[in-house]
Copies of this chain bind each other. A is one copy, B any other.
Amino acid sequence: MPTHFQGDPAQVLALDTFIKLTRAASSVQQTLSQGCTYGDLTVSQFGALETLYHLGPMCQNELGEKLLTSPGNLSLVINNLEKQGLVRRERDSIDRRKVTVVLTETGHALIADLFPAHAAAIAAAVGVLDGAEQQLLGQLCKRLGKGQPS
């Protein structure tokens, strides 16, 4: 609904930009869902597995920060992955408040199997922009973000 809103031109532009940004993110997300690149996993579950796959085991707090989700939510997502036997919880023996989440063999095999097609699907979706455009988009987006740690 490109801003059927009359007012301060700077605000109109900002709203329009915001809507386009939101829609672009949704749209790519939808394309991926429809492309079946998540297997039988939900988007959240896939994200958790992928992070563990690329960065190794980490405690829930850290994982939650990387996935930009609340502790309560992450707890549920990990529960559901645990039920499927894809991850394992290990209480940290040094700091017993922490719970380290570890991929099981099954989980590792699953994400290793799914990831290449997923990456290809993202590349295809984002590929409507050429390399220079993607870099430009990335830079602009980065400046909008809060500078979450990488």
Q: Please give the residue numbers on chain A whose beta carbons come within 8 Å of chain B beta carbons, in ascending order.
A: 1-5, 7-8, 10-11, 13-18, 20-31, 51, 54-55, 66, 68, 119-120, 122-123, 125-129, 131, 133-138, 140-146, 148, 150
Contact B27 A126 (CB under 8 A): no
When all copies of this chain in the complex are counted, the total is: 2
Report B-chain residues with C-beta under 8 Å of the C-beta of A4.
Answer: 54-55
Residues of B within 8 A of A66 (CB): 1
Contacts of A141 on B, CB cut-off 8 Å?
A: 17, 20-21, 23-24, 137
Per CB-CB distance, the 8 closest pairs between chain A and chain B, nearest first, are A24-B141, A14-B123, A25-B25, A20-B141, A24-B144, A14-B126, A17-B134, A4-B54
